Amino acid sequence: MAKPRNEIAVKRLFTNVYICMRCNAKVRSGKRDGIKCRKCNSKNMRLKNKDVKG
């Protein structure tokens, strides 16, 4: 049985969550541009989203 609600929950959890590629810190931000890691100030951020599968 498909559970579309689960998909929404996952989206909520992982949307706007970014991972620093330098120190793997998790940063939540609504913006897509100019996100900086608050630990190392790196701008190398990737979406947490991509981490879910695989």
> Which residue ranges make up the site for Zn ion (CB under 5 A)?
20, 22-23, 25, 37, 39-40, 42
Nearer to Zn ion, 35 or 37 (CB): 37
CB of 29 to Zn ion, least distance (A): 13
Q: Please give the C-alpha separations between residue 38 and each of 3, 9, 21, 25, 31, in angstroms, as whole numbers.
A: 36, 26, 12, 8, 15
Q: Are 27 and 43 in contact (CB under 8 A)?
A: no
Nearer to Zn ion, 11 or 38 (CB): 38
Nearer to Zn ion, 17 or 25 (CB): 25
The first and second tokens of residue 39, run together, are 């630990």
